[in-house]
């Protein structure tokens, strides 16, 4: 199959069709469940004495820890297979991406394998997040002066 058009036709004929509406509904529901779990955790942390400023931090850490543990146990991928993008968009998706890279690279050692692969995923997020927050800070500062 050296002809790109013939290959494209072959792929269209044999590719599994996905129901876009069903995928959207699954993503919406699963993302909503994760957000509701986050709200429940927030209420729990507040009931245990956390303030309104610290409870969201605890919730984020809790969701990351749960997603990382589920990824390590091989459960997160099974959930994501059925739930779709709803599990990948929140912070849980980022935790899954980080831990998956670490698991894949563990045979290469802690430094050159796990450490290097973690920064392959986290590096761009940290760089662009820092850049975006700096730009936001400058705009906020200018708006406050004006």
pTM of the model: 0.66
94 lies in some domain: yes
132 lies in some domain: yes
Report which of 96, 55, 92 is spatially closest to residue 72, judged by C-alpha positions.
Answer: 96
Query: 9-60 pLDDT, tens per residue?
Result: 887 777 777 778 888 899 899 989 988 999 999 999 999 999 999 999 999 8
Kindly state the tokens that stand for 141.
């500062």
10 lies in some domain: no
Residues in Cβ contact with 10 at an 8 Å cutoff, skipping those fewer than 6 apart:
1
15 lies in some domain: no
Query: Where in the sequence is the domain holding 108, given as residue range(s)?
Result: 20-145
How many domains does the chain fold into? 1
Report the alpha-carbon distance of residue 70 to residue 8 in Å, rounded. Answer: 37
139 lies in some domain: yes
Kindly state the tokens that stand for 49.
């004495």
């Amino acid at each position: 199959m050296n002809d790109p058009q013939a290959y494209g036709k072959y792929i269209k004929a044999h590719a599994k069709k996905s129901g876009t509406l069903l995928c959207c509904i699954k993503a919406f529901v699963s993302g909503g469940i994760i957000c509701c779990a986050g709200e429940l955790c927030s209420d729990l942390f507040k009931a245990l004495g956390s303030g309104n400023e610290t409870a969201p931090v605890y919730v984020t850490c809790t969701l990351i820890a749960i997603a990382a543990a589920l990824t390590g146990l091989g459960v997160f991928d099974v959930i994501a297979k059925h739930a779709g993008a709803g599990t990948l968009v929140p912070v849980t998706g980022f935790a899954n991406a980080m831990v998956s890279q670490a698991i894949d690279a563990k045979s290469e050692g802690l430094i050159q394998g796990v450490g290097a692969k973690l920064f392959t995923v986290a590096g761009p997020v940290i760089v662009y997040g820092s850049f975006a927050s700096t730009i936001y800070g400058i705009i906020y500062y200018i708006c406050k002066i004006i």
